[in-house]
Structure 1
Amino acid sequence: MSNVMWQQAVEWLAAAAIDPQECKREWDHGTGTVLLEAGRFWDVLTVPDRLGLLALDIMWRNPLDVPGPTLVDCAAGRVGFFLPPDPVSEWVGCGVRHVGRGSWVAVPPPYRPAGRLEWLVPPDGAGTLHTPGTLEAALREATGTLAVLAPVSAEQAGPEGREWR
């Protein structure tokens, strides 16, 4: 990404802060993360990391549809997909959480990781977000793939879930 694109990404993200200038100062000189309000410019759909990483990989298959901003929380084992705000949709699935209006999201700057948070796909500064239909299709395909793989993983485990060696 060019410096202009990074700056646009910073401005786009910081616009969701109560005080955009303070947000940028915190990214540059503070802990590296800020809390940004969801529901105005974007919502975040979080899923378990295994599901999210596979879904993101599926979305990368189509070179004409670049995925939107995607954040990983390494400590929590979650992947967050930034999508348009939608107060009506209900996302359902095991471990799926929809973060919208009235919620806050810890966000690192788009140009570097901060602590346990890292951008897998940083914001592009133009406001590109995940398309809900594309994200849903990728999550469904990833869920199907993981369901097929689950019995194989279970077969490798011995009594009390210990792996055989």
Structure 2
Amino acid sequence: MTAHPVNGAAWIASAHPDPKSVEAQWQTHCLGTATVPAGVVFDVVRMPLPLGYAVVQTTFSVEPPALLADRLSRRAYLFVPPGTAETWDLFPTAALGRGYWIAVPKPGAVAWIDDAVIWETAPDAGGRMMDPDQLRTAVRRNTGHRGTVTRASHAEDTPR
């Protein structure tokens, strides 16, 4: 994918009630991250990092979607349209929508710490997201899992 970091940054910031504060957070936070709400401009589907890589590598040969990698927790985040979290129920993933905030580095910025949160693929200006049905199929294909699990079973996913 051809990344447009500045425009991708504006797209990410547009999710925040005060988009200008996102740039300030990127400049001052010790890890170079800002927190933005899910469920406004996008929802995110969180999964184990190796699965996130596999999903993107086996689904896209050109122009992969934005992939946020948290190397500390070994989790990947793929961006999907808002509202996806309301019906998402596929193990071993969890969808985060309204009520959740995620920490994101500025697209195009160099990670302040090697094992921190980084963009493996930066978002583009148009905010291209993963199609939920395509993501569901890719997760199933890469895990061999056909079942679902309710959101309630993801105790660590309670909004704060």
Assess same fold via TM > 0.5. Answer: yes
Structure 1 stretches of 5 or more lacking a match? 146-165
C-alpha displacement of 1:144: 2.6
Within the alignment, does 1:18 sit opposite 2:24 as a pair?
no
Worse overlay, 26-35 or 118-127: 26-35
Contact 1:8 1:125 (C-alpha < 8 Å) held by counterparts: yes
Q: Which runs of 4+ in 1 moved over 4 A?
A: none
- Aligned Cα RMSD in Å? 1.9
Q: TM-score, structure 1 length as denominator?
A: 0.76
Distance 1:136 1:23, change over 3 A: same
Distance between the aligned counterparts of 2:81 and 2:73, measured in 1? 24
Q: Which residue of 1 aligns with 2:141?
A: 141
Distance between the aligned counterparts of 1:28 and 1:111, measured in 2? 13
Structure 2 stretches of 5 or more lacking a match? 146-160
Within the alignment, does 1:82 sit opposite 2:79 as a pair?
yes
**One-letter amino acid of the counterpart of residue 74, structure 1:** R
Contact 2:65 2:78 (C-alpha < 8 Å) held by counterparts: yes
What is the aligned residue count? 139
Distance between the aligned counterparts of 1:139 and 1:67, measured in 2? 15
> Percent of pairs identical after alignment?
29
Q: Name the one with the larger helix percent.
A: 1
Q: Which residue of 1 aligns with 2:98?
A: 101
Distance between the aligned counterparts of 2:8 and 2:60, measured in 1? 20
Larger Cα-atom Rg: 1
Q: Which residue of 1 aligns with 2:155?
A: none
C-alpha displacement of 1:92: 1.8
Aligned-partner SS, 1:26: helix
Q: Which residue of 1 aligns with 2:90?
A: 92
